Amino acid sequence: MYNSIQDTLIIGKKVIYLPTCHSTNDIAAEIVHAGLFDEGTIVITDNQVKGRGQRGTEWVANPGENLTFSVILTPGFLPVGDQFLLSQAVALGIRAYAGKYVDDSKVKWPNDVQVNGKKVCGVLIENSIQGNKISSSVIGIGVNINQKVFANAYATSIGKETGRQFVLGDEFHKLLRCLDVFYADLLSKASHDRIRKDYLTNLYGYNHSVWFKHQNRVFEGTVSHVTQQGKLVMQLLSENGTLEVGLKEIEWLKD
């Protein structure tokens, strides 16, 4: 069902399929620790029973209806100070895939993807650092494809938004091709500024007012820019000034 793909540069030439597992990121990390992998190796499952999201949350997806997998990469060419570029490239690759089906597709900082204002994808990147370089990255990706019913009213799927039923194996290959294009861009330092610009342009809240909570206060603002280290800078509308926040310092409020 989930075959390897040969027309990419790096990602997906080896695919490890597990009918069920606790966490594809954990399995991928074990493979990295053992040194038994090629860059671009995928670990994918139909039933992830203990998927992890950002901030210690749990990623829940109905078995056999969605894509839940991890990608093993070795972006040693990226200095630690530029590691957020990897997150940006991955998010843009997934957004490009979602954009094939839904026009209103955005990245929600730092690397979630939403369509029609609802979350369709979550990403968890776990980097291993040696010196000032990234020795390996395990990138967990969950994309809702065919699931139609969600406990969270702000979650959705590509199938729900389009009214279509998809073949998961076909969508898996389409998504890998998109990820591969953006990862290949990272290999050229000349592309880095363009990736940052594309990320900002496609970011939720850029040139659009949004509400969020920071330190128990509610603010209205727009995304101004994202720093090289991945911090979000908000231009406040509810009061004068800007606010720079890190990953666990902001809570988006629903429109």
pTM: 0.94
Asked if 190 and 18 touch (Cβ cutoff 8 Å), the reply is no
Average pLDDT, the chain: 93
What topology does CATH give the domain 15-201? BirA Bifunctional Protein; domain 2 (3.30.930)
Domains in the chain: boundaries? 15-201, 210-252
At residue 229, the pLDDT reads 94
Print the SS3 string covering the chain: CCCCCCCCCCCCCCEEEEEEECCHHHHHHHHHHHCCCCCCCEEEEEEECCEECHHHCEECCCCCCCEEEEEEECCCCCEHHHCHHHHHHHHHHHHHHHCCCCCCEEEECCCEEEECCEEEEEEEEEEEEECCEEEEEEEEEEECCCCCCCCCCCECCHHHHHCCCCCHHHHHHHHHHHHHHHHHHHCCHHHHHHHHHHHHHCECCECCCEEEEECCEEEEEEEEEECCCCCEEEEECCCCCEEEECHHHCEECCC
Given strand 67-73, what is the order of strands in its sheet?
15-21, 42-48, 67-73, 133-143, 118-130, 112-115, 105-108
What topology does CATH give the domain 210-252? SH3 type barrels. (2.30.30)
Please state whether beta strands 105-108 and 42-48 pair in parallel, antiparallel, or not at all (unpaired).
unpaired
What tens-digit pLDDT sequence spans the chain (255 residues)? Answer: 799 999 999 999 999 999 999 899 999 999 999 998 999 999 999 998 866 655 555 666 788 999 999 999 999 999 999 999 999 999 999 999 999 999 999 999 999 999 999 999 999 999 999 989 999 999 999 999 999 999 989 999 999 999 999 999 999 999 999 999 999 999 999 999 999 999 999 999 999 999 999 999 999 999 999 999 999 999 999 788 999 999 889 999 976
Asked if 30 and 59 touch (Cβ cutoff 8 Å), the reply is no
* CA distances to 108, 184, 207 from 197, in Å: 15, 17, 14
Read off the tokens for 21.
């597992």
Closest CA to 122 of 195, 70, 85: 70
